[in-house]
């Protein structure tokens, strides 16, 4: 049997995706095509699990065990093994989270991000619009009175227009060292509530105009409501409801009690470009946005297709 039609029988095939040359530049017995395909996989979310362990899954129901059925967590499978074991992913309001490390790829890659506007009346259902490329991850500066540190490294990446300058060996991205606990929060004006995003990797030297050059997309969603940061118990996934509990969670983050990850409770950016989340200290503005959502106010910023890496148009 040869399910991917690459002329290599499945028992001998080093990748379930089409790769007739069976190239494996790092000798890890995983074909380079699969290495690159997994080079945009979602970050495993584990902090809503009380025992602190990564929660594996086969279906969305596996991620909702013991949680409100409306909780916005779901199972995401590796691009190279869509039917294999995945990890539970928690939706956020202004960020998508990726683990940028390939299994171990030898070829520098870039990441393209597209947006499915289905249901939002901007373009035809099912049409994907390229909104940009994942830029250089950086360590955000957090200067406030946070007494409880993030339990894992948190890097922030913006969306940029040009792919050429953003190919890199993501396996050794941070200060030239391998990732210890990969966690990149992609947040920009284009990342807003109620949308579905597709993240793909492409190898340096490949034709960016050729859709066949890209990896299988990882599908990541944001929460429906911009002030929904937690579920029925603070620290559980958002539940598609804006309540006093969400306001309380943001207030606790403002006070330095990091009971939920920073990326969950950062709906507002800085004073100059509030539409661009800044991953900085939780502010009165963030609290205000949670209150706005509770009061039924609509999302206050420009839609994704109007955004640029400098914010909303004047």
Residue 295's pLDDT is 95
Residue 296's pLDDT is 92
Alpha-helical segments (H) within the chain? 32-37, 60-63, 244-254, 284-294
239-270: pLDDT as tens digits: 888 999 999 988 888 887 666 677 777 777 77
Are 43 and 78 in contact by the 8 Å Cβ rule? The answer is no
| More reliable by pLDDT, 13 or 47 | 13
What's the CA gap between 102 and 201, in Å, rounded?
A: 10
Tell me the residue ranges of DSSP E strands in 211-293: 218-221
| More reliable by pLDDT, 19 or 309 | 19
Q: Is the dihedral of CA 133, 15, 9, 57 positive or negative?
A: negative
pLDDT at 159 over 90: no
Are 142 and 156 in contact by the 8 Å Cβ rule? The answer is no
Are 190 and 132 in contact by the 8 Å Cβ rule? The answer is yes
| More reliable by pLDDT, 39 or 310 | 310
């Amino acid at each position: 049997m040869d399910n991917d039609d690459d002329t290599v029988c499945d028992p001998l095939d080093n990748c379930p995706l089409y790769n007739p040359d069976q190239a494996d530049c790092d000798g890890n017995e995983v074909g380079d095509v699969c290495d690159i395909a997994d080079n945009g996989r979602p970050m495993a979310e584990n902090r809503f699990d009380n025992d602190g362990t990564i929660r594996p899954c086969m279906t969305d129901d596996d991620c909702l065990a013991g949680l409100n059925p409306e909780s916005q967590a779901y199972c995401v499978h590796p691009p190279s093994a869509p039917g294999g074991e995945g990890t539970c992913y928690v939706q956020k309001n202004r960020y998508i989270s990726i683990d940028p490390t390939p299994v171990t790829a030898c070829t520098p890659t870039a990441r393209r991000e597209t947006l499915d506007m289905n249901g939002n009346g901007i373009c035809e259902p099912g049409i994907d619009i390229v909104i940009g490329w994942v830029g250089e991850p950086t360590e955000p500066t957090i200067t406030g009175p946070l007494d409880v540190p993030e339990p894992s490294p948190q890097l922030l990446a913006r969306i940029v227009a040009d792919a050429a300058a953003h190919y890199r060996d993501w396996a050794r991205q941070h200060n030239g060292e391998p990732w210890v606990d990969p966690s990149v929060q992609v947040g920009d004006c284009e990342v807003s509530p109620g949308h579905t995003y597709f993240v793909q990797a492409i190898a340096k030297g490949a034709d960016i105009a050729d859709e066949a050059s890209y990896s299988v997309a990882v599908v990541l969603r944001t929460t429906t409501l911009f002030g929904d940061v937690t579920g029925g118990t603070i620290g559980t996934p958002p539940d598609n409801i804006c309540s006093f509990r969400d306001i309380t969670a943001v207030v606790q983050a403002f006070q330095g009690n990091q009971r939920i990850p920073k990326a969950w409770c950062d709906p507002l950016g800085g004073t100059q470009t509030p539409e661009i989340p800044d991953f900085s200290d939780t502010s009165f503005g963030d609290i205000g946005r949670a209150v706005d959502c509770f009061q039924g106010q609509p999302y206050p910023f420009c839609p994704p297709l109007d955004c640029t890496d400098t914010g909303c148009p004047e």
